[in-house]
Amino acid sequence: MLDLKIEGATVIDGTGRPGSRTDVGVRDEAIAAVGDLSREPAGTVLNATGRVLAPGFIDMHSHSDWRLWGNRRAESKIRQGVTTEVVGNCGFSPAPVSAEFADEMRTFALYIPKGMDFSWRSVGEYLRAFDQDGTALNVVQLVGHGTLRLAAMGFARRPPTSGELSAMQRMLGDAMNEGAWGVSTGLIYAPGSYSTTDEIVAVARAAARYRGVYASHIRGEGATLLDAVREAIQVGREASMPVQISHIKAAGRPYWGKVADALALIDAARAEGLDVMADVYPYTASSTSLRTALPDWALEGGVSAMLKRLHDPGECQRIRDDMARGGGYSIVERMGWGNVMIAWCPKRKDAEGRRISEIAEARKLDPLDAVFELLRDADGVASMILFQLDEKDFVRAVTHPHVMIGSDGSSLAVTGEMAAGKPHPRSYGTFPRVLGRYARDERVLSLAEAVHKMTGLPARRLALRDRGEIRVGAKADLVVFDARRIADQATFEDPHRYPVGVEQVLVNGRFVIKDGEHTGSLPGKVLMPA
Ligand code: CU
Ligand code: ZN
């Protein structure tokens, strides 16, 4: 006897093969039968005629570890059909934490939800604390190299001592034993940006020993994109581990088109036998913390040291001079301040949704002074959206056979605390946008290919053996959607909107979305590597 039978759907199984009409049976947490199940008895029968049934989507690049504590229902992701989120990306995870640098950790985090009290030290303690209250979807945790570095040596802008390096290696090795899947870097962000390639290789080896992946927000995504891709590949080669290049892009108009060259480097590395892949999100704007606009040395010593510099006119001038020479994130050189929008700034809500150029004009300030003022007023807590990408680069990336989908967003919700500001719409729209706009409407890839990039391919990337495909024995993470109707609704102006067309979502055999509504069920788990 099956617990659930889903009848009549076009099943796209996640392997990349085209869909076919068949039935799928679920017992407990797993898929128990696939085929003609018309004579099989089942506790619940769901007729999905005219709908697509696919494996639940795996968000290869998420930052939900900073949100799920206060948003266990994972609304904005689960309503896209996401059933597993890979978190701990861009060099920053909430653990491990050292007693010595716990305060630096707290001030560095942009948003700290209720429950996230940094009472843990190790990643194992962290994961157990998180798992206690349950969550709607599954979580795959990476360990941030920036977090490791912060725990070992704070915001020091120098190479680690041998003691600090072995502390990082030991914490990462312990984390791998306790449920982490790999290590991530954020090499444009202090303190990760203070590290050399040799340091990264040495630290990453501690994850390679446990067959972990190396996921990298690489050292440059504009002028230095190709060198940065080469560095990521070098880490994979020297540490003998798979490489995931996060949110591949060419940032800034002068560099548009370079995604093709970056993909060629990935192809060459793969031809050499290295396991290199990438992920991408379907938008022409990126988003990050506002302080990333500054040169990374401005963060030496942490956020309080940065704020002190911003109160010192001489230091502000140094920052300005460095940026004029191309230092820092060089947004002006890339796109101009009219292409930078404040997404979220709890202490300067007036700025949310507005361009830096507008804010500067209203305050009768030069744009960079307006940025300094915002950072001072907000104690450094603000994020921005940068309209600096080319859609053609996205299409190049998404059609590459080794590029998958990662939102770079977080689990948010349209009500309560999660609905603050004007965050990047990717947190609400990524997966339906790929399926609706890019697969169905613009036909840049087939529906089965698009589904594969959200299911089977990320599962293979992670060596996640029992998810990402519809087959007997796999875990019953499933999504039923209407391929004619599926679409994102979130925009940059109005981001807090759920997509349409996602009708049923099951996690570990239990409905979280039933007929388009959240059931409140929390069947997700912290996944452990095999
Ligand atoms: Cu990221
Ligand atoms: Zn990133």
Alpha-carbon gap, residue 127 to 177, rounded angstroms: 12
DSSP conformational letter for 380: T
Ligand number nearest to the C-alpha of 424? 1
Alpha-carbon gap, residue 4 to 394, rounded angstroms: 38
Ligand number nearest to the C-alpha of 249? 2
Length of the chain: 530
Alpha-carbon gap, residue 472 to 457, rounded angstroms: 18
User: Residues 194-211: what's their mean pLDDT?
Assistant: 98
pLDDT at 107 over 90: no
Q: Which residue do the tokens 């039968």 mark?
A: 33
Distance 8 CA to ligand 2 centre (A): 40
Distance 245 CA to ligand 1 centre (A): 11
Distance 37 CA to ligand 1 centre (A): 42
Could you list which residues have their CB under 5 Å from ion ligand 1?
Answer: 89-90, 408
Question: What percentage of the chain has pLDDT greater than the value 90?
Answer: 95
User: Residues 341-364: what's their mean pLDDT?
Assistant: 97
Check if CATH label 3.40.50.300 holds for domain 57-288+388-462.
no
Distance 244 CA to ligand 1 centre (A): 12
Distance 220 CA to ligand 1 centre (A): 13
Alpha-carbon gap, residue 24 to 6, rounded angstroms: 5
Nearby residues of 78 by Cβ (< 8 Å), 6 or more positions away: 136, 137, 411, 505, 507, 512, 513, 518
Beta-ladder partners of 153: none
| Stretch(es) of the chain classified as CATH 2.30.40.10 | 2-55+468-518
Check if CATH label 2.30.40.10 holds for domain 2-55+468-518.
yes
* 31 in Cβ contact with 71 (< 8 Å): no
pLDDT at 305 over 90: yes
* 6 in Cβ contact with 23 (< 8 Å): yes
What pLDDT was estimated at residue 333? 61
Distance 145 CA to ligand 2 centre (A): 13
User: Residues 448-475: what's their mean pLDDT?
Assistant: 98
Distance 407 CA to ligand 2 centre (A): 10
Distance 295 CA to ligand 1 centre (A): 19
Question: What percentage of the chain has pLDDT greater than the value 70?
Answer: 99
DSSP 449-512: HHHHTTTHHHHHHHT-TTSSS-STTSB--EEEE-TTT-B----SSS-----BSEEEEEETTEEE
Distance 190 CA to ligand 2 centre (A): 13
Distance 278 CA to ligand 2 centre (A): 12
Confidence of residue 324 (pLDDT cuts 50, 70, 90): confident
- Residues 132-160 pLDDT 10s: 999 999 999 999 999 999 999 999 999 99
- Residues 268-289 pLDDT 10s: 999 999 999 999 999 999 999 9
- Residues 38-93 pLDDT 10s: 999 999 999 999 999 999 999 999 999 999 999 999 999 999 999 999 999 999 99
Q: What is the mean pLDDT of the chain?
A: 96
User: Residues 352-373: what's their mean pLDDT?
Assistant: 96
What pLDDT was estimated at residue 330? 63
Distance 246 CA to ligand 1 centre (A): 7
What pLDDT was estimated at residue 326? 78
Nearby residues of 176 by Cβ (< 8 Å), 6 or more positions away: 143, 206, 207, 209, 210, 212, 529
What pLDDT was estimated at residue 335? 83
pLDDT at 402 over 90: yes
Nearby residues of 469 by Cβ (< 8 Å), 6 or more positions away: 13, 14, 15, 55, 455, 456, 459
Distance 280 CA to ligand 2 centre (A): 11
Nearest to 75 by CA among 326, 415, 349: 415
Ligand number nearest to the C-alpha of 192? 2
User: Residues 336-358: what's their mean pLDDT?
Assistant: 96
| Stretch(es) of the chain classified as CATH 3.20.20.140 | 57-288+388-462
Pairing state between β 82-87 and 138-141: parallel
Distance 34 CA to ligand 1 centre (A): 36
Distance 362 CA to ligand 1 centre (A): 31
What pLDDT was estimated at residue 331? 64
What pLDDT was estimated at residue 109? 87
Distance 469 CA to ligand 2 centre (A): 27
